[in-house]
Amino acid sequence: MSPEAGTAANRLGVLGWPVAHSRSPAMNNAALVELGLDGWRYQHLPVPPEAFAETVRALGAAGFRGANVTIPHKEAALALADEASERARAIGAANTLTFLPDGRIDADNTDAPGFVAALPRPPGAGERALVLGAGGSARAVVWALAQAGVRVRVWNRTPARAERLAAQLGAAAVERGDEMGEADLLVNCTAVGLRSASNSFKELPLRAEEMRRYATVVDLVYRPDGTELIRAAARVGCRTVDGLEILVRQGALSLEAWTGLPAPLERMRQAARSRGATASNEPARPSPPTLGGLDAAAGRGGPGA
């Protein structure tokens, strides 16, 4: 059953630290208008790790129906939830929280199906993938690929984290660039490229001229002019998927869960790709909303990101 505009629980948001760069508010507010949910609002919720649990537990009483979760909170989101989908538990991370009328918090993970939906074609059994990173997003990507029978290798700057993720999700950890080899799919799940458009290859175990090793290159990071990784891959003829398409796909699934209505994918895509979708192209670390100041953080003006 779809909710009625104007009900008490009509607030949505995205939790992260930093989160000012996120285009989720612009994308979701455009979708809410398209759906005719005039009383609804989606906002940034900048929350540092030390305030995450306390802030999230207060959101339901403040009129929130749901929240997306981004870096660095996805594993913490699953840990504090009262209920979780089998998918979120298997992945070990959540990007979608729903605040239930009885005060309980439900966790799900739409990163995994959103990632698969954004690919040029579904991944196939026996294919090879290299995943960079070992955080919550990487866990979703590795799980989704492993479920499809893909042979996955995982790299992380901290090798122990890659080894732990690989052992838990049925992948193999690699440490050095010469262990990477060719692959059908390369997926960057690190934050490299978020703050700078030109330092990616200094921080990743890859060189720009090696991009032709990969048939498809996916970067979960998004920038207005594309990330250095995506640009390098496109120059050598790789198929590419940027973070905005993945943002749209996973966000649509979250929105449908909260509203009970089909998400307007094309309108969300247009809003996410609009040059005015963020107030700044560089992420910032704003002051987190206090528990008593959630209304002040609602962003009564434009969505701003």
Return the CATH superfamily for domain 113-244: NAD(P)-binding Rossmann-like Domain (3.40.50.720)
Note whether 63 and 40 are within 8 A (CB). no
Q: Is 74 a catalytic residue?
A: yes
The DSSP H or E segment spanning 166 is helix 159-169
Per-residue pLDDT of the chain (305 residues; tens, 9 = 90+): 344 444 468 999 999 999 998 999 999 999 999 999 999 999 999 999 999 999 999 999 999 999 999 989 999 999 999 999 999 999 999 999 999 999 999 999 999 999 999 999 999 999 999 999 999 999 999 999 999 999 999 999 999 999 999 999 999 999 976 677 899 999 999 988 766 666 788 888 898 989 999 999 999 998 877 899 999 999 999 999 999 999 999 999 999 999 999 999 999 999 999 977 663 333 333 344 443 334 333 322 222 22
**Per DSSP, which regions of 37-155 are E strands?**
41-46, 64-69, 83-84, 96-99, 105-108, 128-132, 151-155
Same fold, 11-109+248-296 and 113-244: yes
**Distance (Å, whole) CA 1 – CA 283:** 37
Measured from the Cβ of residue 293, the count of other Cβ atoms closer than 10 Å reads: 12
Contact 156, 136 (CB under 8 A): no
State the Cα–Cα distance between residues 204 and 27, nearest whole angstrom: 30
CATH number of 11-109+248-296: 3.40.50.10860
- Whole-model pTM: value is 0.86
Residues 183, 189, 193, CA angle at the centre, nearest 5°? 105
Which residue in 23, 41, 74, 87 is the catalytic one? Answer: 74
CA distance 161 to 154: 10
Question: Do the beta carbons of residue 182 and residue 213 sit within 8 Å?
Answer: yes
> Where along the chain do its domains lie?
11-109+248-296, 113-244
